[in-house]
């Protein structure tokens, strides 16, 4: 079973499950255009659970097409890369625009003690 999350620029997260991992058409529809893999975005924390070994995608031309900055996805990306713990990391260069899709398999969930709303 796969957990699929859509993270929108307004901060909302839609969580669904499905039998198979999302295919190209589903990912393209979720982000609204040409897909781009988000490097190092392999974990996602949602409602106290940490989803591991996942994959995240965004719309490659989101910024160029005027889509809104996705702060929630950016913070989640920072957390996934460990950038929040490394003061030498170039945080100002990590930007995401528009909807982001993240997915991971069901058995790879770990509960964590973290405040909701940080990712």
Q: 81 in a domain, yes or no? A: yes
What's the mean per-residue pLDDT of the chain?
A: 86
Confidence at residue 92, expressed as pLDDT on a 0 to 100 scale? 58
Task: Give how many domains the chain has, as a whole number.
Answer: 1
Q: 73 in a domain, yes or no? A: yes
Nearest to 117 by CA among 59, 68, 86, 71: 71
- pLDDT tens-digit series, residues 32-77: 999 999 998 999 999 888 899 899 999 999 999 999 999 999 989 9
Q: 117 in a domain, yes or no? A: no
**Band of the pLDDT at 115, cuts 50, 70, 90?**
low
Q: 118 in a domain, yes or no? A: no
pTM, rounded to two decimals = 0.83
Let me know: does 56 contact 50? Beta carbons within 8 Å: no
């Amino acid at each position: 079973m796969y957990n699929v999350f859509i993270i929108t620029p307004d901060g909302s997260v839609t969580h669904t499950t499905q039998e198979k991992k999302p295919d190209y058409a589903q990912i393209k529809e979720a982000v609204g255009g040409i897909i781009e893999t988000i490097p190092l975005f392999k974990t996602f924390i949602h409602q106290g659970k940490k989803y591991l070994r996942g994959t995240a995608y965004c719309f490659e031309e989101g910024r160029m097409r005027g889509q809104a900055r996705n702060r929630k996805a950016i913070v989640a990306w920072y957390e996934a890369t460990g950038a929040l713990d490394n003061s030498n990391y170039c945080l100002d260069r990590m930007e995401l625009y528009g909807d982001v899709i993240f997915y991971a398999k069901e058995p790879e969930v770990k509960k964590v003690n973290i405040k909701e709303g940080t990712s």
